[in-house]
Structure 1
Amino acid sequence: MAEHALDGTRFVGRDRELARVVEALAGPPALVLVEGEAGIGKSRLVREAVAAGDPDGARTLPAVCPPFLEAFTLGPVVDAVRQAAPDVAALGLTAVAGVLRPLFPEWSGALPPAPEAPPDAGAARHQLVRALAELLDRAGVRVLVVEDVHWADSTTWDFLVYVATRRPRPLTLVLTYRPEEVAAGSPLLRLTSRPAPDVRQVRVTLGGLPVSDAAGLASSMLGGARVSAAFAAFLHDRTEGVPLALEECVRLLRDRDDLTCRDGEWARRGLDEIAVPPTIRDSVTERVARLTADARRVLLAAAVLTDPVDEHTLAAVTGLPPDRWPAALRAAYGSGLLGETATRPGGGLAAGRTGIAFRHVLAARAVYDRAPAPERAAAHRRAGEALEATVPRPVGRLAHHFREAGLTRRWFGYARQTALLALSSGDHLTAATLLHALITEPTLPPTEVAALAGQVSAHAFTGDPRAGEIVRTLRAVLDSGRLGRRDRAAVRAQLGRMLLTVGEYTEAAAVLEQAIPDLADHGYPIASAMTVLGLPLHGSWPVATHLRWLERAEAVAAASDIGPVDGIELRLARMTALFELGEESGWELAGRVGADESSPRAAMLTARFHLNTGHAAMKWGRYADARRYLAAAVDVAGRHGYQRLRDLAVVTTGHLDWLTGAWDGLDERLAAWQEVDGEPLIRMDALLVGTQLRVARGGPDESARAVLSAVREESTRRGTTDLPAETAGALSRVAARPSADLTAEPVARMVRKGVWLWAGEVLPEHLAALLSAGRRGEAESLAAAFEDGARGRDAPVLAATLACCRALLAEGRGDLAAAAAAWEAAATAWQALPRPYDAAKARERRARCLLPDRNRAPALTELRTAWREFTALGARHDADRVRHVLDAHGAGTDGAWRPGRRGYGDRLSPRELEVVRLVATGLTNREIAKALSRSPKTVATQLNSAMRKHGVSSRTALAVRVTQAGYDAGGPPGPGTS
């Protein structure tokens, strides 16, 4: 059927989607997202839209991300810019463009001189991003298309976020991606979930084509003749309307001579005789099997290279003799799998040219996966040797090829170059991938391990799931016994910082302490490690020990030549440690840290300063200051792209909202953070606050207890400071019965270390449990120690906590008047912070102390105030509890207490007695409601009140009490009376 050659496919079935993208490209800056599975037509849609809006391509720059684990830093954008080949010298670039020299060595003569190297990788990355954005601006690029963005490296993501959010000239971005390949923590999710207010976001989701459009696509490949309904249905059933699969099936059927054209309509020769393979892989595999061995070598070479290459390079990778190459290439072309296509990132082809490549990555993958492993390895070796002649050398791609070829030493050389280039560009995620691979290589010299491990900032891995792998790798290197003393100390110090990153605080402290004596010299590394040990991470060290570490760190810093930015970081770390220790001097030091956004690293430190100070202010009870600092942290971190710091500030603000009663929408704001991977602090804090909010609204249950128990266990294991104490206090409040065991460990640690700042969220619950168990002397001794420890600290939360402790002790002594006065002081202190929920609970406790008085008006007034505050907050469970007490005493919640209406205190009311008598007969709530002409809800309320007054928690227990008491028509008194 050679006379029926296949035509190119027509663009069908996407009119609505095309119109939306064209409209977005024609308007103000936009973020256009095109998502769909592989082969669904994302690239074709974008090409059609760009052709419609920018026919000559003058304003549009297309880039494609390659599917490699070790993606080259900024590779997609760099190669796209190189492809565009602008006259760099004529663009009038500023001095910052000099940092582009390593990425564009062929333009060195036209670029400005390289500026002085920044102090750290983060600053280098920011400079690089700014310079590349300037290059695009000067070249007139207004639309940047990045395809397969799910494979983008971290620095490319930094660049995309920067150009999408900068002001006043954001670029229009068109991003294509496969949703199934987008990881939970992908920057794409953060970019799309926080769109800039002046950038329009357009999301286009592509699905399979319907049968009619599938028929149109097949028709376009077969000369425009109509296809039969049966053939169209057959195609659609096997391909689910995926355009690439449709194309491959039509090509396969033509290759197998399984199509015939009758009366101008294409149909299959026998619908029941030959089954078309349902997947692209099977389709490609069968087509490849029909080719000669030499043609298959051409396809494997193209699959190994992935990107467009010239004939010379492709021939070299096949390893075919020159006399067999032309015929092999013609046969490979004849398969329809290869084609001439524009340069894609990293292929080694000169700028502005087209090359030979697979029409789709899935076809390339199918060929690659079916090839025998020895043939793949040989092809990778030849690919590496061919690309070594490329200028500039694609070191990331060379590392990939030589590793797949099993040539370890050659892989190591290029992988090391790639890692160092990634570090200098601020691409820590690529560096992390290479670092993990390099330091686990058995033949790598120990000194290389130490050098590479020390160059990567631990902050780069925070929130990255690979951080745990790096921790395991560094441990293995230390355990290998192959390191000298200084190298071992360098790796151990890096391990200590990585342990902090993954939240293993106790072990981090031990590892850092072990590393300090063997570090090479005094200066920033030692001062930094000592300052970390000033944090109250170690479980048994008292405050005095942490303060001594801080003093030693300050002495080392003073005696060393430390740069100004390093000095700021040391002061920030010292300030944070003092805050955590409850030392007033931290606030004085905070006034000297200052804010500086003149460089990326300075901006990062400024964001950390606001975050840490806001967190400390929240823990100290300085809530107005906390909100101001946290808002500044969100602003600074957001503007400079420090996403993790921004996320921490947002979640900490949610914690502050919980404390200060700003509960509207809080559960929804916390929900997304409760499932976040790789961020244990964020996840645990969100779970702690979210669970307490749920309990306040609906009451405690086993689910809440389970969540809080899990958070307490994880936070304790990781060695965090205040989180175990706060979680233990929350768990104690929802426990079925008081138990000092729930709070004993964090309280013991607090006493042992002398860090009383943690007392606010756990000490009252622990004292209440001790008093309930009859351990009054222990409770009084603990409260006295707390009062001594809190003295002299301007921490409002400690003053309110101390008032609660005094009230509990007075209740324990039976001095209800003193207890009522102390609860009033506590309520006033909580309200002043403000913490309205705690203030309402203190008012409720004061009212209960006043209820035994003959004049119950003050108590009922206080209860109504507490009820109104609980109701305003949305604390339904607490409000219902107070309302039941008011109902039991004949006082309403909607106005002043009505004198003359009988209050029953702990005695059962007549209506409760009626319900109790019927409970003793075995009737259900619904049956009781019918007998008494009440609603089931009212019966349930009265039954719960009766159970509370009798100190039981079940209907059965209440029935036993009723039977034992022998209720008569007059009704017995309530419990505790005679």
Structure 2
Amino acid sequence: MAGHASGDQGVGVPRAAIGPPRFIGRDGELDALRSALTSGTAVVLIEGEAGIGKSRLLAEFLETTQILETTQAGGASSRTLVAVCPPFRRPHTLGALVDALRQSTDKVAGLGLSPLAGALRPLFPEWAAELPAAPEPVEDATAVRHRLFGALCELLDRTGVTVLAVEDAHCADEATLEFLLFLCARRTRRISVIVTYRPEDLPEDSAVRRLSSLSAPSTTRLRIALGPLDVAATAGLVSSMLAGAQVSPEFAQFLHQRTDGVPLAVEESVRLMGDRADLARRDGAWVRREIEDIDVPATIRDAVLERFHRTSPATRTLLEAAAVLTDPSTVGLLLAVSALGEEDAQAALEEAVGTRLLTEGRRDLLAFGHVLAGRAVYESIPAVRRRTMHRRAGVSLRDVSPPPLAQLARHFRAAGDTQDWSTYAEQAADLALASGDDATAAGLLGELITEVRLPGATVVRLARKVRLTAPEDSDRIQDLIRSLRTVLAEQQLGDRGEAEVRAELGRLELLVENIAAGRKELERAVPHLSHDPVAAAQAMIVLGWAIGEPVPNETSLYWLRQAAEMIALPMPEKDRNRLRVNRAVGLLTLGEQEGWAEVARIPWDAPHTAEHLGIANNHYNVGVMALQWGHYDLARRHLASARELAERHPYQRHLTLALAAEAGLDWATGRWDGLAERLHGIVEVAAGAATSHLEVRLTSHLLAAARGDRPTAEQGLSAVLAGSGEAPGCALAAAAALAAMALADGDVDRALMLSQEPLDLVTGNGMWLSAVDLVPVRIEALIASGSAGDIEARQLVRGFSEWLRGRDVPVARAALAWCRALLAQARGEHERAAALCARAALLWDALPRPYAASAARERQAACLSACDRRESALPLLEQVLAEYRELGADADAVRIAAALRAQGVDAARPRPARRGYGDRLSPRELEVAGLVIGGRTNRDIGEVLYLSPRTVARHLDSAMRKLGVSSRTALAVRLVELGLGPAS
């Protein structure tokens, strides 16, 4: 190398003397990574800003640790698969993973894949002849996605992958991140996962942040946060690029200040200085020529662009082509996009690689050494030339097999070619939908709808493909709404076409909670949708749902009954069954017994696997309504069926919904043992599903309140109330619990404030069913507020009673008895109030809902004390204390124990067993006996209630003794006679 002589001025360094940097300053992080990955299954997150060395750390690990393409003991293949997520504006569904598998796996015919692998066909069309047949189609995107995820896991397992590394996860599509969650949560064969990402580019709710929390307890979890190099490490990095020669402390300090110790910035700056001959060797050390004269760029962008402009015109054109393509590309593709002649091409390639702006990767593909370098060059390309290059890229990629649809859509969009953009964007969206990637599909189609002037029929067709949910996609939904309104204003669509646009417009308006606007569009659409009974019935059912704002009960019922006429018309059975369930939910939400008749017409089996998702969804919806009505045994059966179907297929979203609802049922029925731990686990899984997440948090905070953790409960319930726009039932329950806390503190005004708005919604749209917890709290607050409030409380009870007349709603009957007890107590009618409390407790017991029953008995004891019936009140209060203790309602138990001690009763003495219920069945005995009616064996009952068969037998013997019967059949008959059997 030149420059060996020492002297004052020194000699500049030629470009060839600057080599690639060695791995410097990350030994501790490398050791930690090795330790995690060689000690078993691990999930490792490597984070840091652009250019900080995340990819280099991963590469060094792979090069120095014998994991890549090795063989484990026993001959099993073991290797690492590296997937790099490109910085596309609209990333391809599972693109990084698919490309990595495609490049690393030539054939799949001999892998022994199961029929599940047929789900891989949309992603790997070139393997169609080797893959099993495609599975039966399902409509639910989550089901599609999770079936695909299972197939991908199987492919990884069969190809011997033991470590999956995903680079630049901040650029990953949603499906890739969901797959990583799926992979980390697996309990079967485990694959270690390494993920690199820029934390500043991750959304707050990114799935990347949940990866380690979802992994199995035995998995090693490691998070490595890479920071800048210090001055010494900066000097070492520069020295390694200059063949190990010494770097002057002055130069190292200067360079560190200008680059902030970011390795990529250091490397690019050294290369730029070498290009400009700004480096010199003096007295055996590399230095800068003149401190005052050398202006080293402070940003990577400036360094890259200055190096870029120092290359030849042909090389610059080639680099621009690489920047336009973004992905690692073949030489042929680069030359096609650059349009260079053969004479210039070879020299340009050599110079681009020689400057290390382009690097050669796997399979001789060329790409920028760092994504920021490519982006800097891309943004410098004049707009006209950029469009031309995108056009060439699109034309060249058309012949690739399989066609890279998302890239084709991107290139033709950037080229301004609307027709080809539309074609490939829709095809890419269809592929995304087939893979369960709704987000990518919505982005591709949303851009078409909002940016291209399309015919109205095309807009409707595309909009129907878009599956969006508020509030996450509210901006995109608003764009679609504006586009559809433009279509209505500017195009002649005819009655049918206009109705289809308005129906879609109404759906979108409702998603962003523009309830009045949404209802108006649906009402205008319905008269002209008779040609499409499914769409007409769905619009009518949505109009019949009491959501968002007060709608008269009669209006809701009108639309739900109109929908019944549409459902009777010819249509596919799966659509008919889905509409029946939706209509039943609308009726049952209003407390209409007619809804159960609709449920009775729903089939609960299906000949095809593809229909099982619909059956699972039906079970879930019916189970939730049974839970709201207080038919708890029926709820448990349907929710268990939904969970079993979701686990078997698997449908992760529906599994989460079922688990959340079952947790709410366990809260209501007093199955609190281990519930807090289960809720914690469900919260993690449900983080991506807004409604389920809210329901689980609600249950968790209600449990915390009962167990005495008041600060956590109050803060959590307030958050649920604030975020419950999509789940009005959660809002009502949270408001009721918070108002009850306010009453316990003597803050009547706050209790009234918390309960006012939810109650207005209830009375406005007749949703009394969802207010069975709110109404009693509101009545108690009104009574406490004074005489005017007492009048309003009586009116409220009257309205509740009138709504309940003629309806068999067990939970509402119990709540009404409780409300009447509160009014009687307020009037000083303590004997009557005690009797009403006892009736409420009996009705709660029959459900069973033990916590509410104990609260009713607690107030019954207070009323008895007010009648000077201390001999009856104290034993009852002791029973309540035992019940609270058995439930785990610690805060209530402490309060009752204090009250008993004040009466001279030793409440602190532990009791050998729970106080008996006399001749009444205990809540657990009612549960066990109720299941006998369904013909279940002791073992079946034990599995449902998590009891041993011996414990079930003990409860049955006790129930038969109390009811004076000697057989299971007689017990079932007696329960039905008493009205204590499960509702059907």
TM range (shorter): 0.7 to 0.9
Cα-to-partner distance string for 1:164-206 (whole Å, 9 max, x where unaligned): 5567445444433333333233343444432245665554443
1:168-187 alignment, distance < 5 Å: 168-187=188-207
CA distance in 2, matches of 1:169, 1:266: 53
Q: CA deviation at 1:360?
A: 0.6
Instruction: Select 2:85's aligned residue among 65, 70, 83.
Output: 65
Give the conservation status (yes or no) of the 8 Å contact 1:467–1:501.
no
Which residue identity is paired with 2:812?
Answer: L
Aligned to 1:456: 466
Structure 1 residues 28 and 570, CA gap change in structure 2 (3 angstroms): farther
How many pairs align? 881
Partner secondary structure for residue 176 of structure 1: strand
How has the CA–CA distance of structure 1 residues 865 and 595 changed in structure 2, closer, same or farther, with 3 Å as cutoff?
Answer: same
In structure 2, the partner of 1:424 is: 434
- Which region of structure 1 is more displaced relative to structure 2, 7-16 or 884-893? 884-893
Q: Does the 8 Å contact 2:336/2:392 carry over to 1? A: yes
User: Offset at 1:431?
Assistant: 0.9
| Distance (Å, rounded) in 2 between the aligned partners of 1:335 and 1:305 | 19
For residue 814 of structure 2, the aligned residue among 776, 800, 813 is 800
Give the counterpart of 1:619 among 622, 628, 653: 628
- Matched residue type, 1:432: A
Q: Does 1:279 align with 2:299?
A: yes
TM superposition shift of 1:438: 0.9
**Structure 2: how far apart are the matches of 1:596 and 1:53?**
52
Q: Structure 1 residues 638 and 172, CA, compared in 2 at 3 Å: closer, same or farther?
A: farther
Task: Specify the alignment match of 1:924 in structure 2.
Answer: none
2:589 counterpart of 1:580? yes
CA contact (8 A) 2:663 2:675 kept: no
Task: Name the aligned partner's letter for residue 823 of structure 1.
Answer: C
Distance in 2 separating the partners of 1:589 and 1:335: 73
AA in 2 matched with 1:50: L
How big is the shift at 1:415? 1.8
CA deviation after TM superposition for structure 1 residue 430, in Å: 1.2
Matches within 5 A, 1:612-691: 612-622=621-631, 637=646, 642-649=651-658, 652=661, 655=664, 659=668, 662=672, 681=691
Contact 1:291 1:331 (C-alpha < 8 Å) held by counterparts: yes
How many Å separate the matches in 1 of 2:92 and 2:882?
61
Secondary structure (helix, strand or coil) at the match of 1:145 reads: strand
Partner of 2:970: none
| Alignment-mate amino acid for residue 802 of structure 1 | L
Q: What SS class does the counterpart of residue 748 from structure 2 fall into?
A: coil
Question: Matches of 2:68 and 2:791 in 1, distance apart?
Answer: 86
- Equivalent of 1:310 in 324, 327, 330: 330
Unaligned runs of 5+ in 2: 1-12, 71-76, 911-984
**Corresponding residue for residue 236 of structure 2:** 216
Matches within 5 A, 1:882-961: 894=908
Match in the other structure for 2:420: 410
Change (3 A) 1:252 1:275: same
Distance 1:695 1:124 in 2: 39
Aligned mate of 2:410, from 400, 403, 414 = 400
Q: 1:588–1:30: structure 2 CA closer, same or farther, 3 Å change rule?
A: farther
Cα distance in 2 for residues equivalent to 1:713 and 1:120: 29
- Distance in 1 (alpha carbons) for counterparts of 2:711 and 2:787: 23
Distance in 1 between residues matched to 2:132 and 2:659, nearest whole Å: 40
Distance of 2:490 and 2:717 partners within structure 1: 42
Q: Could you tell me which of 27, 39, 53 is aligned with 2:66?
A: 53
Match of 1:9 in 2: 21
Task: Tell me the residue number matched to 1:341.
Answer: 361
| Cα distance change on mapping 1:777 and 1:32 into 2, 3 Å | closer
Question: Secondary structure, in 3 states, of the residue corresponding to 1:68?
Answer: coil
- Mapped to 2, the partners of 1:2 and 1:890 lie a distance apart of 97
Inter-partner Cα distance in structure 1 for 2:881 and 2:790: 31
Amino acid of the residue matched to residue 193 of structure 1?
A: S
Are positions 1:758 and 2:770 aligned together? Answer: yes
> Using the alignment, how far apart are the partners of 1:857 and 1:181 within structure 2?
69
Deviation of the 1:284 alpha carbon: 1.9
Cα deviation for residue 70 of structure 1 reads 1.8
- 2:575 pairs, out of 542, 566, 570, with 566
Are 1:39 and 2:54 counterparts? no
Structure 1, residues 672-717: CA drift from partner, whole Å, max 9, x if none? 9799999664576577667767877889999969985x976886xx
Change (3 A) 1:541 1:76: same
Q: Does the 8 Å CA contact 1:530/1:552 hold for their aligned counterparts?
A: yes
Shift, 1:77, TM fit: 2.9
Assess, with a 3 A threshold, how the Cα gap between structure 1 residues 740 and 227 changes in structure 2: closer, same or farther.
Answer: closer
Q: 1:339-488 counterparts in 2 under 5 A?
A: 339-342=359-362, 353-457=363-467, 464=473, 468-469=477-478, 472-473=481-482, 476-477=485-486, 479-482=488-491, 483-488=493-498
In the superposition, relative to structure 1, how do residues 562 and 366 fare at CA in structure 2: closer, same or farther (>3 Å)? same
Counterpart residue type for residue 244 of structure 1: L
User: What is the CA-CA distance between 1:223 and the residue it aligns to?
Assistant: 0.9
Matched residues in 2 for 1:281 and 1:98: separation? 45
TM-superposed deviation, 1:400: 1.2
Equivalent-residue separation in structure 1 for 2:568 and 2:729 (angstroms): 31
Residues 775-796 of structure 1 show CA distances to partners (whole Å, capped at 9, x for unaligned) of 6566445434533543565544
How many percent of aligned residue pairs carry the same amino acid? 43
SS of the aligned residue for 1:443 comes to coil
- Name the residue aligned to 1:914: none
Offset of 1:410 from its aligned partner? 3.4
Are 1:740 and 1:766, in contact at CA under 8 Å, matched by a contact in 2?
yes
Contact conserved, 1:436 with 1:473, CA < 8 A, in 2?
no
Contact 1:125 1:426 (C-alpha < 8 Å) held by counterparts: yes
Q: Secondary structure at the match of 2:195?
A: strand
Tell me which amino acid in the other structure corresponds to 2:537: A
Which stretches in structure 1 are left out of the alignment for 5+ residues? 343-352, 897-978
Contact 1:227 1:267 in 2 (8 A): yes
For the 8 Å contact 2:433–2:441, the answer to whether it is kept is yes
**Partner of residue 248, structure 1:** 268
User: Aligned partner of 1:619: which letter?
Assistant: Q
Larger displacement relative to structure 2 (245-254 or 671-680): 671-680
1:257 equivalenced with 2:267 (yes/no): no
Partner AA of 1:84 in structure 2: S
Cα 1:131–1:638 change in 2 (3 A) is closer
Taking the aligned partners of 1:245 and 1:298, their CA distance within structure 2 comes to 23
Deviation at 1:392, TM superposition (A): 3.8
CA deviations over 1:213-234 (Å, ceiling 9, x no partner)? 4443333222123444454444
Distance 1:168 1:668 in 2: 20
Give the counterpart of 1:737 among 748, 757, 769. 748
Deviations 1:932-958 (A, max 9, x none): xxxxxxxxxxxxxxxxxxxxxxxxxxx
Indicate how the Cα distance of structure 1 residues 693 and 279 shifts in structure 2: closer, same or farther if over 3 A, else same: farther
> In the TM superposition, what are the counterparts of 1:500-899 in structure 2 within 5 Å?
501-502=511-512, 508-519=518-529, 521-537=531-547, 546-547=556-557, 549-563=559-573, 565-584=574-593, 586=595, 602-622=611-631, 637=646, 642-649=651-658, 652=661, 655=664, 659=668, 662=672, 681=691, 722-723=729-730, 725-730=732-737, 732-733=739-740, 734=742, 736-737=747-748, 743=755, 746-747=758-759, 750=762, 753-771=765-783, 772-774=786-788, 779-780=793-794, 782-791=796-805, 793=807, 795-830=809-844, 835=849, 838-839=852-853, 841-853=855-867, 894=908
Structure 1 position 80, deviation (Å):
2.5
Separation in 1 of the partners of 2:116 and 2:124? Answer: 14
Equivalent residues of 2:510, 2:518 under 8 A apart = yes
- Shift of residue 767 of structure 1? 3.1
Q: Are positions 1:490 and 2:510 aligned together? A: no
For residue 815 of structure 1, report the CA deviation from its aligned partner. Answer: 1.4
SS in 2 for 1:53: coil
Cα distance in 1 for partners of 2:623, 2:123 equals: 40
Instruction: Return closer, same or farther for 1:475/1:219 CA change in 2, 3 Å cut-off.
Output: same
Amino acid paired to 1:480: A
How big is the shift at 1:18? 3.7
Change (3 A) 1:32 1:696: closer
Distance 1:656 1:591 in 2: 22
Identify if the C-alpha distance between structure 1 residues 511 and 29 changes in structure 2 by more than 3 Å, giving closer, same or farther: farther
